[in-house]
Each structure stands twice: as structure tokens, then as C-alpha cells.
A = this chain, B = another copy of it.
């Protein structure tokens, strides 16, 4: 299912075969929280900007339109008209970051909807049932993402519970995939490593979950406030204890430089809201670093955001026009920047894969980081 095509140091060039097509890794999954990429970007647009995988959020879709509604409409692929792979998160992270008044018990979490305050219960089984209704290609295990302010004792307890929850997720997904009316009977389950910034807890947990022989493993609970150096330290410690012959997914990461650093440490799946969120706020990624299109210096700049870029924004529109759209609060400005930024990320990953294919990733990474930081 997962082919490890090549390595360079710890860096992996892989290929995951799924029921919805092949994923070439390292890959950046484009985040469409509520079954749509923010910034008026459709699944048709995603194809135009060479997106391989779309990621949607279980918590959001459970609340609205409801996973039962999505199932009745044939699953998420049919609902949003996307025939390539979709990864859904477990809802866990949102339960711990967005929902109100939550109460964690062994069976799961009681919480209130951030939309209407409605009381909801979600445990490992419920998360799997929702993701099964959505019919995503890859489902994520339901875990707790403990705040890094917690002390060691709490984190150890939480990680142990996350392991027990993972086993329940695996059993439930197996049951669901065997039901006659399941949307995607070949849904894959990825486990999630936790443990805050405690290397020993992370490593022990990685070893434990690796034994469950799941189709992929993620590292969760990073990029939640710790420094980049702390994150790299944890990756250095934990990635070698996750199966090399399985996808390795660093959740919610990150900047182009974060991605280059994590690829070097053996990660090959990524997702992050940065390209779309930054685009909506007027920031564009370029090979010379980020630029802020609100800046007055772009008023008469007839050049594209980036010379030579083949995205729908750069192939037609100028910095001056996009700046005007942003200043005039025209949605088109946000849309063009989101398209550019996602294209930038998708093509950064393509360049990374090509560098790995050609055995020159180390040099590529060094040059890329130099280019992107020389103006800062």
C-alpha cells in the first residue's frame, strides 16, 4: 500500500496507493475544513493547482451539515465533487480547541458545539462512525492533544488513554468497514503519536502504537505553541521509532521552512491552514519569502506575484490589481492569493519530491532556505 521509493538520510520519498488514487509523498494536504477551501476555492480549482489530497474536519462536518446528511448524499467525495484522496481528522483537536465546556472521561468527551451550544458526546467509536459516514480515504484516530502547560503526570495519563482509544478506534473501523452500506469500505486508519515535548513519553508511545500495524502514523500535538527548535528536537527523537515503511504525517505543519526541516527528519505528510489563511490576509508566498500585498509599494507594480509562477493569479493578474482588490475588500483578491499560495505549497512539495528522486534533497533544502530567508 505504501511504497518507500527512495531515502536520503532520514528523508523519505514515498507513494501511497489508496482507493481514491495514488498520493506521491512528501505531500501537502490542502485544508478544506468544512468541505471547502476557504477563499472561494472549489474542488475544480484544486485540480488546476495540482492538489493531491484534500483535508476536511470531522468536528465541523459533524456539526454542519451533519455526517448523516453527507452520507445520504453519497459521502464527502460526492458531496464536494472530489475524486482524489481525502483525509479527515478525528475531531479530537477541535473538541479540545474550539468546543465549550468539555469533560473528558474514559469513554470519550462531552462538549458543547461552538455553533449553537448543543451538548455532544464524542469518543473513539463516535469519531470512527462519523468519519465512516463521511467516507474519507484516510481517517485519523481519536486522541487527546494535551496542552503543553500540563505537567508530566497528566501527559503520561493522557497518552495512555490515547493508546486505549486508538485500540478502540481500530476495532470500530474494522467493524464499520465490514458493514454493507459503508461509503468507503477501504477506509484507512492512521494512529497519532502524542506526549507533548517529553521525548521519552513520545518514544514509548511511538513504539506502542507502531505495534498495532496501522496503515500510517501521525505526530500530533506539535506546532501548538512550542518553538520550532523544540518541534525539530521532538521529530529527531520520535520519527525513528515510527515505522519507516508507513506514511509519517506531521499534523498542522507548517511554514515552507518547517516542511523542509521535517522532510529531512523523515516526515512525508503535511497539512496547514497557513497558505489559505495568509492568502486571505493579503500575504503571498514567493521563493524570496512572503510579501504583503497590502503594502503601498505594490500600487503600480504590474508584475505578477512571482515571475514564472504558473498559478491562476500569476498567469493573468498583477500585484497592483490584487492589491487594489484587497484594499477594496473584493473577495476576488483573497481568492487569487489563496490559489497562489496553495499552488506554491503544492509545487514546493513537487520540487522536494524531484530533489529526493534525484538524490539532491540536502542541497535543495539548503538553497531553498537561503533563498527564502535572505530578505528577512
CB distance from A79 to the nearest CB of B (A): 6
Cα separation A38 to B42 with both chains bound (whole Å): 17
Contact between B320 and A64 (Cβ–Cβ < 8 Å)? no
B-side contacts of A38, CB under 8 Å:
330-331
- The residue that A336 contacts in the complex, of B37, B42, B316, B336, with Cβ under 8 A, is B42
Stretch from A65-73, A228-236, A250-258 contacting the other chain? A65-73
B-side contacts of A321, CB under 8 Å:
35, 73, 79-81
B-side contacts of A335, CB under 8 Å:
40, 42, 331, 335
Q: Does A328 contact B (CB under 8 A)?
A: yes
Query: Assuming A69-B300, A79-B320, is B42 touching A328 (CB within 8 A)?
Result: no
**A322-376: which have CB < 8 Å to B?**
323-325, 327-328, 330-336
**A287-331: which have CB < 8 Å to B?**
299-300, 302, 312, 316-318, 320-321, 323-325, 327-328, 330-331
Contact between A320 and B34 (Cβ–Cβ < 8 Å)? no
Please give me the residue from chain B that is nearest to A315 by CB atom: B44
Q: Does A214 contact B (CB under 8 A)?
A: no
Contact between A331 and B40 (Cβ–Cβ < 8 Å)? yes
Q: Does A36 contact B (CB under 8 A)?
A: yes
Contact between B65 and A324 (Cβ–Cβ < 8 Å)? yes
How many copies of this chain?
2
- State how many residues of chain A have any CB contact under 8 Å with chain B: 42
Contact between A81 and B334 (Cβ–Cβ < 8 Å)? no
Cα separation A212 to B194 with both chains bound (whole Å): 80
- The residue that A42 contacts in the complex, of B36, B318, B332, with Cβ under 8 A, is B332
B-side contacts of A243, CB under 8 Å:
none
Q: Does A100 contact B (CB under 8 A)?
A: no
CB distance from A326 to the nearest CB of B (A): 11
Of the candidates A41, A330, A333, the one having the most CB atoms from chain B within 10 angstroms of its own CB is A330
B-side contacts of A318, CB under 8 Å:
73, 79
Of the candidates A43, A65, A316, A327, the one having the most CB atoms from chain B within 10 angstroms of its own CB is A65
Please give me the residue from chain B that is nearest to A60 by CB atom: B328
Contact between A331 and B328 (Cβ–Cβ < 8 Å)? no
B-side contacts of A334, CB under 8 Å:
40, 331
B-side contacts of A215, CB under 8 Å:
none
B-side contacts of A36, CB under 8 Å:
325, 328, 330, 332-333
Please give me the residue from chain B that is nearest to A324 by CB atom: B65
CB distance from A339 to the nearest CB of B (A): 10
Cα separation A76 to B80 with both chains bound (whole Å): 36
CB distance from A54 to the nearest CB of B (A): 13
Sample of 9 more A-B contacts, CB < 8 Å, known A38-B330, A42-B312: A36-B328, A36-B332, A38-B331, A39-B40, A40-B40, A42-B317, A73-B302, A73-B318, A81-B317
- Could you give 23 example pairs across A and B, Cβ below 8 Å? A34-B324, A34-B325, A35-B321, A35-B324, A36-B328, A36-B330, A36-B333, A38-B331, A40-B40, A40-B330, A42-B312, A42-B336, A43-B316, A44-B316, A65-B327, A65-B328, A72-B300, A73-B302, A74-B302, A79-B321, A81-B321, A331-B335, A335-B335
Q: Which 5 A-B pairs have the closest CB atoms?
A: A40-B40, A40-B331, A40-B335, A34-B328, A36-B330
